[in-house]
């Protein structure tokens, strides 16, 4: 299976990490946009454990990138990049966290209620049924896909729908990796990785993202001297799909890639 996609021309110093876990391919629009000016690597994760994905990323990066690299991690990919930066600090020049989940579970107590309350009654009922299915054995990739479609609506300020379906969802990866990842957050193992990170860490977060911005900014500001938060207005969880924020997002991202 293809796990590394290349865009643009060498040098390839920028790597993209998708979210999910298990949503490989969703960073392609970002890769295509940035490849006008940079050599871009899009990494697709296939392992079914957190450690497996960190080591898979190590192999991908060392076999294809011009090091030290810049990693751009989206959603779950932000956490993966954070874990990687702690384990392999010499390999990264900068880590950019896009729409990261909270690094402390105390900020997440109302997350799903926020998401569900943004939906109409019919969609909310469907989302609740899908959550039950995902948490049980009675589920498949189609269930995860439909749940993702509903969450894209609730997580967005003004969502721009795409004609092409770029994402290859894998429920098995989602269930196994997310169970481990949430445990790492709940036990503070995730945020404590900051003690071993030496590169600059930049977070880009929309002001309408249902994932709380304070859950990223406050823990990382306390832990990292080399940390910066960039907030984008009228922007939800997927900045490049936001009608009013996508241009600002790419402008901010390009600036960080050359600094």
Q: Write the pLDDT tens digit of every residue in 203-251.
A: 999 999 999 999 999 999 999 999 999 999 999 999 999 999 999 999 9
Q: Which pLDDT score is estimated for 163?
A: 64
* pTM summary value: 0.93
Q: How far apart are CA 243 and CA 206, in angstroms?
A: 13
* pLDDT tens-digit readout, 11-51: 999 999 999 899 999 999 999 999 999 999 999 999 999 99
Report CA 143 to chain centroid distance, whole Å: 20
Pick the CATH number of 4-258 from 1.10.40.60, 3.40.50.1820, 3.30.450.40, 3.90.1200.10: 3.40.50.1820
Q: Which pLDDT score is estimated for 31?
A: 97
Q: How far apart are CA 76 and CA 101, in angstroms?
A: 7
Q: Which pLDDT score is estimated for 128?
A: 85
Q: How far apart are CA 32 and CA 25, in angstroms?
A: 12
Which carries the bigger pLDDT value, residue 214 or residue 111?
A: 214
Instruction: Report DSSP letters for 97-156, one per residue.
Output: EESPPPSSGGGGTTHHHHHHHTS-HHHHHHHHHHHHHHTSSS--HHHHHHHHHHHHHHT-
pLDDT bracket for residue 82 (50, 70, 90): very high
Sorted by sequence, the CB contacts under 8 Å of residue 2 that are 6+ apart come out as 44
Q: Give the SS3 label for residue 11.
A: coil
Between 131-145, 172-186, 193-207, the lowest mean confidence (pLDDT) is in: 131-145
Q: Which pLDDT score is estimated for 138?
A: 64
Over 80: is that where the pLDDT of 162 sits?
no
What average pLDDT does range 98-122 have in this prediction? 89
């Amino acid at each position: 299976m293809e796990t590394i996609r290349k865009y643009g021309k060498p040098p390839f110093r920028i790597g993209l990490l998708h979210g999910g876990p298990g949503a490989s391919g969703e960073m392609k629009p970002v890769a295509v946009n940035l490849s006008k000016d940079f050599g871009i690597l899009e990494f697709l994760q296939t392992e079914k454990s957190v450690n497996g994905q960190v080591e898979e990323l190590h192999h991908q990066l060392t076999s294809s990138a011009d090091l030290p690299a810049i990693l751009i991690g989206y959603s779950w990919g932000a956490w993966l990049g954070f874990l990687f930066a702690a384990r392999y600090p010499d390999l990264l020049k900068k880590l950019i966290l896009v729409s990261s989940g909270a690094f402390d579970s105390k900020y997440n107590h109302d997350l799903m209620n926020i998401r569900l309350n943004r939906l109409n009654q019919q969609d909310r009922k469907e989302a609740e049924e899908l959550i039950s299915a995902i948490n049980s054995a009675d589920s498949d990739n189609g269930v995860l896909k439909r749940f993702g479609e509903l969450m894209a609506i609730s997580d967005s300020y003004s969502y721009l729908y795409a004609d092409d379906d770029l994402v290859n969802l894998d429920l098995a990866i989602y269930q196994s990796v997310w169970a481990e990842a949430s445990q790492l957050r709940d036990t503070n193992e995730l945020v404590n990785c900051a003690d071993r990170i030496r590169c600059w860490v930049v977070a880009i977060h929309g002001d309408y993202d249902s994932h709380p911005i304070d859950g990223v900014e406050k823990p990382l500001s306390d832990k990292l001297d080399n940390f910066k938060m960039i907030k984008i207005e009228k922007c939800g969880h997927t900045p490049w799909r936001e009608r009013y924020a996508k241009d600002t997002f790419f402008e901010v991202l390009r600036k960080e890639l050359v600094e």
